Structure 1
Amino acid sequence: LRVLAWEDVCPPGDRIEKIAEASYAEVYRVTNERGTSIIKVIRLESPLRPQTKTQQRSGLVDEVPHGEEDLQGELRISELVADIPGFVIYKEKYIVEGKTTPALLETHQTFHRRAKRKDPDRLQFYPSPSRYLKDTRFLVVELGDAGTALEDLEIESAAQIWDVLLGVAVALARAENLIRFEHRDLHEGNICVRQVSPARPKSDKSACQFGYSGLDVTILDYGLSRAEDTNSPDVAPVANDLERDLSLFTSTHAKQCKVYRQMRSYLINGDRLWLPPQEHNEPYEKDLHGSPISWLRQHPYTNVLWLAYLYEYLTTNFQGPEKELTAFQKQSQEFWTHLNPESPLEIMSFSSAEDIVEFAAEAGWITEEQLAG
């Protein structure tokens, strides 16, 4: 891989903006006269300047650096999803080495000030660029621009809820079908939205609910994902072995931490009853068949869990008219009953994103033409 300096990634005249944090990576948008790219910045095993006393007092928790071999799975999955609509476009990867630029430091600080205002308890996991040394190294993955992180979208209409929820479900269903894909980390920071056309009112009485907001939805970040090349059956599936670090399942720092526990509990027990943080203390626990749980195996119900999380996120963060939200919840009540992982066990649950899209199509919320598009 070629080695660049931060001045090469964002020279004077270019604009860099930190837009999200993903598993193992910070996400920036770089804009210049040639266009816009998203870069995922993943710290490799390399030195950092020690934390200052102020940083120590603020509760800064440094993200563990990664060896380049740890990242091969995510890069391989990026290639597998590249041609599937709804997934971010992969451009290239390279190494960045050395000290920061003023623009990088400024946008890092701006992002964390804004995040603290929204959530005063939020911890900072990624080291300030002020601590980068001449030998600090990063793997940078350059992607096509996908718009704004969902966590920064003001959700003001039911049309936005429908388009984000169904757009993500359709992309996941396609990927399940083509490469047996599970995202396993699909929170609001790993979904991007972009306004590609004006919102339009629904003027007919059809059941269709999809395609009125003008939003385009893109899924990114495959650090925890699972997929396989179905055209090469002799090639092993690609997956991050999440048993190597159980802190993912014991952490309580963010709302999505519950979904990590729900996923692992499902692998262990095969049902929707999820284990509390303190019970995720033994790696490779046995499943119902007496075998150690394996993240290499396909468990498409994990996609259902994340779509349930997304449904709750969209409705909880809705800022539009209350009657619109009430109407959406009433119309999707049966759907939510089968999606909600906390529904009574006697209620049948969706088993995959494909299952969810089939329900949406049968309800008329999305048309065959839209699914084929």
Structure 2
Amino acid sequence: MTSNFPRVMSVNCIQGKYPKILLDLWDKYHEERVSQNDRPDIYPGKQFYIAMEFEYAGEDLESFFLESACQGLSLLAQVSGTLAVAESVLQYEHRDLHLGNILVAPIDNDSVELILEGNLIPIPSHGIKATVIDFGLARMSLPGGKILYVDFNSDPALFEGKGDLQFDIYRLMKEQTK
């Protein structure tokens, strides 16, 4: 058990033209941070979308200022513990973990608790909670043996990105795993 994945508030299937308000928000994000994704208005007017609403879980680690080494150690322990829980239960692999896919929020609790293989593991929070997000490239085994994953060979564009260390990592990963 871990509370360091975001809680899903709602999931909706929508069809139609991408809403202007969401395009405006996309543009604002792209101006401030530069998105590697296509602007969503490239899709036809009858496009289907899945809209997922998650609880607010803080700001990305790229933008968050850690106040102490203790907060850094807490963050590392929380993320590592969270991935260990998911790996134990689902044979989970994130496969796209970087600073933008870890959210950090201030909390009042003294600790964040995980349960790993029946063992309660309290992690001193030092005032922060880490949340792991973005499962688009993840791999996991579901009960019954079904494996969900993205076949990287089906999307060569994943290995063609430029301008960020994560794209170099993708290429290195591809070389190492052949």
Residue 4 of structure 2 aligns with which residue?
86
Unaligned runs of 5+ in 1: 1-82, 116-121, 200-209, 269-373
- Aligned CA RMSD, in angstroms, stands at 2.7
Residue number among 165, 172, 175 corresponding to 1:262 in the alignment? 172
**Pair 1:166 & 2:77 matched:** yes
The higher radius of gyration belongs to 1
| SS across alignment from 2:100 | coil
Rounded Cα–Cα distance in structure 1 between residues aligned with 2:27 and 2:54: 23
Match of 1:127 in 2: 39
Distance in 2 between the 1:180 and 1:84 partners?
15
Q: Measure the CA separation in 2 of the matches of 1:253 and 1:96.
A: 33
Specify which of 137, 141, 144 is matched with residue 52 of structure 2. Answer: 141
Higher relative contact order (CA 8 A, sep 6+): 2
Q: Tell me which residue corresponds to 1:361.
A: none
Partner of 1:95: helix, strand, or coil?
strand
Provide the C-alpha distance between the structure 1 equivalents of 2:138 and 2:99, rounded to a whole number of angstroms. 16
Residue 251 (structure 1) aligned with residue 161 (structure 2): yes
Counterpart Cα distance in 1 of 2:46 and 2:88: 43
C-alpha offsets along residues 160-186 of structure 1, whole Å, 9 cap, x if unaligned? 321222211110111111111110001
Distance 1:198 1:84, change over 3 A: closer
Matches within 5 A, 1:272-351: none
Structure ranking higher in strand proportion:
2
What's the offset of the Cα at 1:100? 5.0
Correspondence for 1:108? 26
Distance 1:251-1:112 versus aligned 2 partners, 3 A rule = closer
Which of residues 236, 249, 253 in structure 1 aligns to 2:146? 236
For 2:177 and 2:40, the matched residues in 1 are separated by 37
Amino acid in the other structure paired with 2:26: H
How has the CA–CA distance of structure 1 residues 250 and 238 changed in structure 2, closer, same or farther, with 3 Å as cutoff?
same
Q: Shift of the alpha carbon at 1:198?
A: 8.1
Counterpart CA distance in 2 for 1:267 and 1:173 is: 22
Q: TM-score, normalised by structure 2?
A: 0.77
Conservation of the 8 A alpha-carbon contact between 2:26 and 2:39? no
Corresponding residue of 1:195: 106
- 139 and 192 in structure 1: CA distance in 2 versus 1, 3 angstrom threshold: same
Q: In the alignment, residue 140 of structure 2 is paired with which amino acid?
A: A
Closer, same or farther in 2 for the Cα pair 1:214/1:108, shift >3 Å?
Answer: same
Percent identical = 28
- Using a 3 Å threshold, how does the CA distance of structure 1 residues 101 and 185 change in structure 2: closer, same or farther? same
